[in-house]
Amino acid sequence: MRTIHLSRRTVAAGIPGLVLAACSDIIGPPPAPKLYILRPALPPPGGPKVPWALAVAMPSATAGLDSSRIAITRPPNGMDYYADAAWPDRATALVQTALVDAFEATGRIAAVSRETDAVHADYVLIADLQDFEARYDQPEGSPTAVVRLDVRLVNTAGRNIMGHVLVTREVQATANSVPAAVEALDSALSGVLAETVQWTLAAAPALKS
């Protein structure tokens, strides 16, 4: 049997790595971020029904904005995220779900679905989520929730754009905190949903029988 001799220097060099590995096991993974749920107000039911079906496409957004992290911006062009806080899904998926829920809540459209559901639709609502963040104009001040949605209504038969609108809402948060910022984003999104639904119902012409 061959005997292997290790020098003191070799043994000492391996000790820091063992210590770091042991510390890593003790510390463990970082704690999961706290999840915040959006519950925007939905448009009230009522009004004349329309004879067409609508599909809502997944909104587009920049990579920095299309995240499950809650975005914040600081002047002039700084973008960051709240630490230890997140949405349960990507921002674009949350907005798409909110749009579908808002149109369904009116009870005025024959059928509303996501575009990926492959259900027949006469119109597709295509949106670009340009802003969905808490904006800090002052480092220690309360932020302003900004939601901006660039919306186009497309006829599925000819892929013609029936109309276009830019919907924006800004709501001042009541405090410099994540819960206050989420509440303000909820309010801003509620306003964007209401205007988008109202505009869409007016922009889509009645279909010929």
Q: Which two tokens stand for residue 42?
A: 């939905």
Amino acid 101: pLDDT? 97
How far CA 123 is from CA of 10, 48, 204, 205, in Å, comes to 71, 18, 8, 10
pLDDT value for 41: 95
The dotted CATH code for 30-203 is: 3.40.50.10610
Letter for the amino acid at 126?
I
- Cross-strand partners of 132: 147
**What is the mean pLDDT for each group of 10 consecutive residues in the chain (209 residues)?**
41 40 53 92 91 95 95 90 96 97 94 88 96 92 97 89 95 97 98 96 68
pLDDT at position 29 is: 67
CA 37 to chain centre: 11
Please report the pLDDT score of residue 207 as a whole number: 52
